[in-house]
Chains A and B, each alone.
Chain A
Amino acid sequence: GAGVSQSPSNKVTEKGKDVELRCDPISGHTALYWYRQSLGQGLEFLIYFQGNSAPDKSGLPSDRFSAERTGGSVSTLTIQRTQQEDSAVYLCASRTRQGASTDTQYFGPGTRLTVL
């Protein structure tokens, strides 16, 4: 079966431009997470979606970052006025809503964002 997919796989942009990163979760997975991994760091939580709503946005680093999810499926992470410190690998994960901590999150391959 298809796993989590993300696009683009690589994105190079100039400082100050806006970028959109896309995540297509596993079919039927209602929970979706965005993380990012900066150079030499672990994965850092950004935002959590349950269905189309985002009850936890506590990891978004600034108001330049926003995300939405439509139809309980595809999610888009938007970064406005990109800065060099936004350069990182952005990872999306999805899981079924079983309501248990033992539910496994399945990750996509990530989008490597480079801000020049």
Chain B
Amino acid sequence: DQQVKQNSPSLSVQEGRISILNCDYTNSMFDYFLWYKKYPAEGPTFLISISSIKDKNEDGRFTVFLNKSAKHLSLHIVPSQPGDSAVYFCAASAYSGGSNYKLTFGKGTLLTVNP
């Protein structure tokens, strides 16, 4: 049972346009959401996060939106740049006891930004 879903395996956009990556989740216990970016042969790099008490968080060109009622979040990249081409993973965190906040990941979306 996949608790975090990224239904689009890939997305292609033109440089300068907006990239929108989507993520859905099923576990209502998730209270913190993160986006990681991954280049080939590298580990995931933290990009941006949002707490469940907020509906929007912005950091430069990156904005994450959270719709708790729909159990949906999205990552907007504006304007998109060729260097943004990577796999983007959506992850969710729930308290698991002690100081354990293990992450549950989606399968990722490969973003390609064309010059």
Contacts and interface: CB of A to CB of B under 8 A. Distances in A.
A43 B103 contact: yes
Give the bracket for the number of chain B residues in contact with chain A.
Answer: 20 to 34
Nearest to A110: B43
A40 B107 contact: yes
B89 A56 contact: no
Interface string A58-90: 010000000000000000000000000000000
B86 to A, nearest CB: 14
A107 B99 contact: no
Contacts of A108: 43
Nearest to B101: A101
B107 A41 contact: yes
A21 interface: no
A48 B44 contact: no
B102 A33 contact: yes
Which residue among B34, B91, B103 has the maximum number of chain A CB atoms within 10 Å of its CB? B103
Given A45-B102, A50-B98, A99-B99, A4 B43 contact: yes
A105 B105 contact: no
Contacts of A45: 102-104
A26 interface: no
Contact of B41 (A41, A55, A56, A109): A109
B102 A48 contact: yes
Contacts of A93: 43
Contacts of B91: 43
B98 A105 contact: no
Contacts of B34: 104
Interface of A: 4, 6, 9, 31, 33, 35, 40-45, 48, 50, 55-56, 59, 91, 93, 97, 99-110
Give the 6 A-B residue pairs with the shortest CB-CB distance, closest first: A107-B43, A42-B105, A101-B32, A43-B105, A42-B107, A109-B43
Given A101-B51, A105-B103, 19 more contacts: A31-B100, A33-B103, A41-B107, A42-B4, A42-B106, A42-B107, A43-B105, A48-B100, A55-B100, A56-B96, A56-B102, A91-B44, A99-B99, A102-B49, A102-B51, A107-B36, A107-B43, A108-B43, A110-B42
